[in-house]
Amino acid sequence: MSGRVLVGVKRVIDYAVKIRVKPDNSGVVTDGVKHSMNPFCEIAVEEAVKLKEKKLIKEVVAVSCGPQQAQETIRTALAMGADRGIHVQVTGKDYETLGPLQVSKILAALAKKEDAQLIILGKQAIDDDCNQTGQMTAALLDWPQGTFASEVSMEGDKLKVVREIDGGLEMIKINTPAVVSADLRLNTPRYATLPNIMKAKKKKIANVNPADLGVDLTSRVEILRVDEPPQRQAGVKVETVDDLVGKLKDTGRI
Amino acid sequence: LSIPEGTVTCPLAHRCLRALKTAQTEHVSPQLYTTLHRRACSSVSTPRITTHYTIHPREKDPRWEGIEMERFADEADVVIVGGGPAGLSAAIRLKQLANEQEKELRVCLVEKASQIGAHTLSGACLEPSSLNELIPDWKERGAPLNTPVTEDVFSILTEKYRIPVPILPGLPMVNHGNYIVRLGNFVRWLGEQAEELGVELYPGYAASEVLFHEDGSVKGVATNDVGIAKDGSPKDVFERGMELHAKVTIFGEGCHGHLAKQLYKHFNLRENCEPQTYAIGLKEVWMIDEKKWRPGRVEHSVGWPLNRNTYGGSFLYHLNEGEPLVALGLVVGLDYTNPYLSPFREFQRWKHHPFVAPTLEGGHRIAYGARALNEGGLQSIPKLTFPGGLLIGCSPGFMNVPKIKGTHTAMKSGMLAAETIFAKVTAEDVESETAGLHVPEYAEALKSSWVWKELHAVRNIRPSFHNYFGLYGGMIYTGIFYWIFRGKEPWTLKHCGLDAHQLKPAKDCTPIEYPKPDGKISFDLLSSVALSGTNHEGDQPPHLTLKDDSVPVNRNLAVFDGPEQRFCPAGVYEYVPLESGDGMRLQINAQNCVHCKTCDIKDPSQNINWVVPEGGGGPAYNGM
């Protein structure tokens, strides 16, 4: 048992920033826009660090895929308590088409290389809202998955996960190694304080190429166009039911 | 509460209703009290607004018993507070000198914004003089000065018309040789240059406290604590800030910095200067129709919508960075007297002027923000140095008001601070009376530099507006004494005192009828605030602290009709009816704050004390 946990962290546009579509409708403006760690990834890092503090695992490795700026996100994870980082360098066109399929292939390859016992990810990223990476990674590795986790505990070499589902809460017990995806109520992430940021500068971040991991980044998806949602039209107030029926008929709804 | 009893069928609800009815009758008696008694009661029952520990110290708070308050400390040679043009120029200059002379120098810079440039807002027309001195090969290094000024237009606006004013060479607002920049992008580039030179930049960490040695000199700063709940109690994630100690601490917080405010009091730095006077600048960036785009064009105006006794003016700059972008805004002097004036709404209605609206028609707005700026000039510069530290940039205030430029002087002040500090910190035989180094050489260097000459020449222009003819008197004064006599007149005019004391009571003023925003050219406040990208961790004490929670309703609302609900460009202050029905209370929406500092400046009761919130919070400006 290596006692090693891999945590995936994604650099996304900060949730409070107003998004703007590029004039050529090819995507969203990201130049100079405030970015931060995906909120669900923060929860994932916190959970991994908590497990290490409880001495249930030995090492937390933070992983991020992207251009140079992804290193800032890894540093934040290191400041929260991760031991070392891995920056998988993906730039340019490859980065524009990077999606859950490619990232899960990368994470699966890294999990094998690093002999990880556990992969903790955020349940979804707030920019694409895919909610696929955790599940795909588990499938590629043929590992069990505990997704939408609101509570995680270790019982021997099994993992007990309480999952948030539509009907309420579901408790499952899965073997390790496993993939867990964090939901909102799993924990409250700690702050990355300045002394920890300074210490994090001394922690190692390894640079890795997807090609070295034998991963093919070709996308199966082509983005045709990105548009803003249609402007919400003002509603119309009617006085009587007859008016309502009349208006519905006028606009061809009935 | 008048739900007819017969309509309630559920027995539990029935019991609740009975209980409520009895409670209601029990409260009938207080209405028998005299109004005098009720007024005495109402001041006692002011709802608690301020929970910040600067007003309610934690040493006396039982919720903080046993909490670990020890702070981690680190030592640097120089610590710089604020990552704006001044702070970054100082950092760059320090490291340039250290690298040139092969000396070790640890320079740490803390900045409250989450990334360098995110809290920077300005017009801006940059005069490249200081940049040429600091980084002569800025063009090769990719500095974002992409728009040389090609056209300069000045107008006096009336409600429907425009009077063109010729910009004769020699007038302060000539922009030949200057660049229209997006200052946030320029500051970000400066940050990259600083990092390359080895400066340690820490954005996302706010300096919240000045630290002192036992001998009273400045020891450094401490960054903000994190994890304090809205009610002032510690959360599970509570952690103390960190202490950064330095031989010299440079304070470059920008206009009306909150630590500078404390330092003025502590070291009595303002005893021989006039109080600082300010203006608020509101700005938007628009993507306009390509047909209307004239890259390099600079437009300024005075007059409408402000009356001749309210100082202020507008700007509209056409950028040349590939896309048809314009930066535009309105500056309003904060010595205005009418409490019904709303700088935000003046800005929105200015955009509808027949000279301005056509540029914006067919375009759409992509950014909004606001910031206070200095107008005091030479007369308001305080003592700049004290044992262990010094002040640079817009914090003490080196803005050339008629030129509407302060970036070049801020940068030069940072560079001079670096040069004089470096000499002292690396000198072999430094003898200091105090543990923190005192560098009065900085103030002397500044006084013999072009910054002082420039500020001296324009010192009388702003105060010349305080006459019966207001704007027109000021323009005549500028024409005679600046354009002809170059500011050499032997007298120095005074300002009128604190901006906060200029407001007249509401009963002596007429409310201003502002037009409703049309949603195409003018907009409402809340959608504008959303565009600034501002956000703060919700569960923290409001950082807009009140020395006395009862003053807003009892004085600001009663005498001045609550001017804070109008001068705040982010809708932080709202007077809402009390839940009990009778009377109003002040609601502070601290999360909206864009860190402009106008409230701390203009509050007629000087009751609002802006302190820094958790680092990383605030606007997310992108190239403003």
The pLDDT, as a whole number, for residue B14 is 53
Q: Using a CB-CB distance cutoff of 8 angstroms, which residues of chain A are in contact with residue B226?
A: 191, 193
Interchain proximity A17–B287, CB inside 8 Å: no
Burial class of residue A54 in the structure, from the number of CB atoms within 10 Å of its CB (0-12 exposed, 13-18 middle, 19+ buried): exposed
The pLDDT, as a whole number, for residue B477 is 80
Is the distance from CB of B547 to CB of B609 less than 8 angstroms?
yes
Interchain proximity A32–B535, CB inside 8 Å: no
From B530, which residue of chain A is nearest by alpha-carbon distance? A18
Confidence of residue A36 (pLDDT cuts 50, 70, 90): very high
Interchain proximity A193–B242, CB inside 8 Å: yes
The pLDDT, as a whole number, for residue B223 is 96
Residue range A93-120: mean pLDDT, rounded:
96
Give the nearest partner residue to B239 out of A188, A193, A198, using CB atoms.
Answer: A193
Catalytic residue among B188, B371, B566, B585: B371
Q: How far is B281 from chain A (nearest CA, A)?
A: 22
Burial class of residue A232 in the structure, from the number of CB atoms within 10 Å of its CB (0-12 exposed, 13-18 middle, 19+ buried): exposed
Task: State whether residue B323 sits within 8 Å of chain A by CB.
Answer: yes
Residue of B75, B239, B536, B540 to mutate when probing chain A, most A C-beta within 10 A: B239
**Full-model pTM:** 0.90
Task: State whether residue A224 sits within 8 Å of chain B by CB.
Answer: no
How far is it, in rounded angstroms, from Cα B599 to Cα B500?
9
Q: Using a CB-CB distance cutoff of 8 angstroms, which residues of chain B are in contact with residue A31?
A: 622
From B187, which residue of chain A is nearest by alpha-carbon distance? A32
Q: How far is A70 from chain B (nearest CA, A)?
A: 14
Which residues in chain A (29-58) have CB-CB distances under 8 A to chain B? 31-34, 36
Interchain proximity A188–B237, CB inside 8 Å: yes
Interface contacts (A, B; CB < 8 Å): 58
From B118, which residue of chain A is nearest by alpha-carbon distance? A34
Using alpha carbons, select from B466, B436, B378 the residue that is nearest to residue B75: B436
Catalytic residue among B46, B50, B596, B598: B596
Q: What tokens does B474 get?
A: 């000021």
Q: Using a CB-CB distance cutoff of 8 angstroms, which residues of chain B are in contact with residue A36?
A: 114
The pLDDT, as a whole number, for residue B2 is 47
Task: State whether residue B72 sits within 8 Å of chain A by CB.
Answer: yes
> Which run of H or E residues covers position B218?
strand B218-223
Give the nearest partner residue to B114 out of A32, A34, A197, using CB atoms.
Answer: A34
CA B107 to chain CA centroid, nearest Å: 25
B41 tagged catalytic: no
Give the N- to C-terminal CA distance of chain B in Å, as an integer.
52
Interchain proximity B114–A20, CB inside 8 Å: no
Q: Profile chain B (624 residues) by mean pLDDT over runs of 10 residues.
A: 48 52 43 41 67 93 92 96 97 97 95 96 94 96 95 92 87 86 97 96 96 95 95 93 96 96 96 94 96 95 90 94 94 95 96 95 95 94 96 96 93 97 85 88 96 92 81 80 79 88 94 93 95 93 95 94 95 92 91 96 96 94 94
- 3-state percent helix, strand, coil for chain B, nearest multiple of 5: 30, 20, 50
When the pLDDT of each residue in chain A is averaged and rounded to a whole number, the result is 94
The pLDDT, as a whole number, for residue B36 is 43
Which residues in chain B (456-515) have CB-CB distances under 8 A to chain A? none
Q: Sheet of B151-157: strands edge to edge?
A: B162-165, B151-157, B297-303, B312-318, B325-333, B278-287, B364-374
Residue range A203-231: mean pLDDT, rounded:
93
B568 tagged catalytic: yes
* Domains recognised in chain B with CATH numbers: 72-144+182-274+377-459 (3.50.50.60), 460-488 (no CATH), 506-610 (3.30.70.20)
B301, amino acid identity: S
- Residue B101, SS3 per DSSP: coil
Interchain proximity B236–A195, CB inside 8 Å: no
Using alpha carbons, select from B618, B590, B612 the residue that is nearest to residue B53: B612
Instruction: Give Rg (Cα) of chain B.
Output: 26
Catalytic residue among B50, B122, B155, B413: B122
Q: What tokens does B413 get?
A: 């002040």
Q: Using a CB-CB distance cutoff of 8 angstroms, which residues of chain B are in contact with residue A194?
A: 110, 202, 205, 223, 241-242
B29 tagged catalytic: no
Residue range A178-204: mean pLDDT, rounded:
95
Is the distance from CB of B118 to CB of B184 less than 8 angstroms?
yes
Using alpha carbons, select from B527, B621, B531 the residue that is nearest to residue B182: B621
| Residue in the structure block whose two tokens are 């430094």 | B430
Is the distance from CB of B387 to CB of B246 less than 8 angstroms?
no
Q: Using a CB-CB distance cutoff of 8 angstroms, which residues of chain A are in contact with residue B227?
A: 191
Q: How far is B591 from chain A (nearest CA, A)?
A: 11
Residue of A20, A37, A191 to mutate when probing chain B, most B C-beta within 10 A: A191
- Give the number of other CB atoms < 10 A from CB of residue B69: 12
Residue range A181-202: mean pLDDT, rounded:
94
Give the nearest partner residue to B223 out of A33, A188, A194, using CB atoms.
Answer: A194
Q: What tokens does B317 get?
A: 């700059």
What are the phi and psi torsion angles at A135 (to 5°)?
A: -65, -45
Q: Using a CB-CB distance cutoff of 8 angstroms, which residues of chain B are in contact with residue A190?
A: 237, 239
The pLDDT, as a whole number, for residue B99 is 95
Interchain proximity B117–A32, CB inside 8 Å: yes
Task: State whether residue B184 sits within 8 Å of chain A by CB.
Answer: yes
Q: What is the pLDDT of residues B151-180, one digit of tens each?
A: 999 999 999 999 998 888 877 778 889 999
DSSP output for B151-185: EEEEEEE-SS-EEEE---TTSTT--TT-EE--HHH
Q: Using a CB-CB distance cutoff of 8 angstroms, which residues of chain A are in contact with residue B68?
A: none
Is the distance from CB of B612 to CB of B543 less than 8 angstroms?
yes
Crossing angle, helix A39-53 and helix A70-80, to 10 degrees?
Answer: 30
Task: State whether residue A1 sits within 8 Å of chain B by CB.
Answer: no
B371 tagged catalytic: yes
Q: How far is A235 from chain B (nearest CA, A)?
A: 16
B141 tagged catalytic: no
Interchain proximity A32–B185, CB inside 8 Å: yes
The pLDDT, as a whole number, for residue B309 is 86
B203, amino acid identity: P
The pLDDT, as a whole number, for residue A219 is 92
Q: Using a CB-CB distance cutoff of 8 angstroms, which residues of chain A are in contact with residue B366?
A: 20
The dihedral through the CA atoms of A196, A200, A203, A208 has a sign that is positive
Task: State whether residue A28 sits within 8 Å of chain B by CB.
Answer: no
* Domains recognised in chain A with CATH numbers: 4-251 (3.40.50.620)
Task: State whether residue B117 sits within 8 Å of chain A by CB.
Answer: yes
Is the distance from CB of B226 to CB of B56 less than 8 angstroms?
no
